[in-house]
């Protein structure tokens, strides 16, 4: 199993970090988790594309995790030669989001249908709203969902991907909670969104300090990894983005709570799971 960070950024635009998105390559194909800004540009750099995705999994419906859903729907449809519906798994509300996105694209869809004689079908999606339990099983790959805690954003889910003895967990945005512990138990890699509480408190802007009560700090994520005997903790969705030369500060904060391997995400970082 291979893990590729397509976007390690956050809602704050960054010249070097695309929006939150993680690609898991496995026997079932390319599985995409969240689709923040620039996801298909990063996917192209990783040798993937909208048409190559076996499924898209959404952890929650915050805009920074879903910004480029429209691009995936459009490119999967417009670059295909036969109907290839996009399979989407997400929390309750995902179906409404996809429906609204397709409605937003209605004018563009009409333009393309009118212009391309060999494009005779509408974009297609197959959405399954998930809460808890196995949501996908194919080619020896199993994906399990469990509820997380990103209140007042509700519902939110994390995902556990298993192939043979290899396990990756995508936490999404959450504070420590029972659902995340359930998913993370014994995982090879835990991909966890984090914020730097110390920096944010020092800045002091209310709009920024507001994020502290529904995101895990670096230390929170490290304690979750330690409590659940995770092999590697991969820190992503970094708020604020690390300034050049400060990367070791982030990993040191985690290492003080967790004695496993700590990795700070960068776009296109690739991890061979289990190696």
Mean pLDDT in runs of 10 for the chain (275 residues)? 97 95 98 98 98 98 98 97 96 98 97 95 97 98 98 97 98 98 98 95 91 95 98 97 93 97 98 89
How far apart (Å, rounded) are the C-alpha atoms in residues 182 and 24? Answer: 20
How many whole angstroms from its chain centre is CA 158? 9
How far apart (Å, rounded) are the C-alpha atoms in residues 228 and 241? Answer: 27
How many whole angstroms from its chain centre is CA 198? 25
How far apart (Å, rounded) are the C-alpha atoms in residues 189 and 171? Answer: 11
> What pLDDT does 248 receive?
94
> What pLDDT does 18 receive?
98
Residues with Cβ within 8 Å of residue 143, at least 6 apart in sequence: 31, 57, 89, 134, 135, 136, 137, 159, 160, 161, 162
Spans of all domains in the chain: 2-266
| Closest listed residue to residue 91, CA positions, set 37, 50, 132, 151 | 132
How far apart (Å, rounded) are the C-alpha atoms in residues 127 and 54? Answer: 13
**And the tokens for 157?**
């889910």
> What pLDDT does 146 receive?
98
CB-based burial label for 172 (10 Å; 0-12, 13-18, 19+): buried
Which of 30, 64, 68, 173 is labelled catalytic?
A: 64
pTM listed for this prediction: 0.97
DSSP summary character for residue 221: H
- Give domain 2-266's CATH superfamily: Ribonuclease Z/Hydroxyacylglutathione hydrolase-like (3.60.15.10)
Q: In terms of DSSP bridges, do strands 133-138 and 86-90 run parallel, antiparallel, or are they unpaired?
A: unpaired
How many whole angstroms from its chain centre is CA 55? 12
Decide if 64 is catalytic.
yes
Residues with Cβ within 8 Å of residue 220, at least 6 apart in sequence: 175, 176, 194
> What pLDDT does 274 receive?
82
Residues 170, 176, 177, CA angle at the centre, nearest 5°? 90
């Amino acid at each position: 199993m291979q893990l590729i960070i397509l976007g390690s950024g956050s809602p704050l635009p960054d010249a070097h970090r695309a929006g939150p998105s993680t690609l898991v390559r496995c026997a079932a194909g390319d599985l995409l988790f969240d689709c923040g800004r620039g996801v298909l540009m990063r996917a192209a750099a990783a040798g993937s594309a909208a048409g190559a995705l076996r499924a898209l999994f959404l952890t929650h419906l915050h805009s920074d995790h879903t910004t480029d859903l429209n691009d995936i729907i459009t490119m999967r449809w417009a670059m295909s030669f036969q109907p290839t519906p996009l399979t989407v798994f997400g929390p309750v509300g995902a179906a409404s989001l996809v429906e609204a996105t397709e409605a937003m694209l209605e004018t563009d869809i009409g333009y393309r249908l009118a212009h391309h004689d060999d494009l005779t079908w509408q974009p297609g999606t197959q959405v399954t709203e998930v809460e808890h339990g196995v949501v996908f099983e194919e080619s020896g790959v199993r994906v399990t969902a469990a509820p997380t805690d990103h209140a007042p954003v509700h519902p939110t889910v994390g995902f556990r991907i298993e192939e043979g003895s290899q396990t990756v967990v995508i936490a999404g945005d959450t504070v420590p909670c029972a659902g995340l512990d359930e998913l993370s138990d014994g995982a090879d890699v835990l991909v966890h969104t984090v914020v730097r509480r110390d920096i944010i408190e020092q800045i002091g802007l209310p709009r920024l300090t507001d994020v502290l009560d529904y995101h895990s700090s670096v230390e929170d994520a490290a304690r979750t990894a330690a409590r659940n005997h995770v092999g590697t903790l991969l820190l992503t969705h970094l708020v604020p983005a690390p300034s050049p030369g400060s990367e070791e500060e982030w990993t040191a904060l985690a290492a003080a709570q967790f004695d496993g391997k700590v990795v700070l995400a960068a776009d296109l970082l690739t991890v061979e799971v289990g190696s």
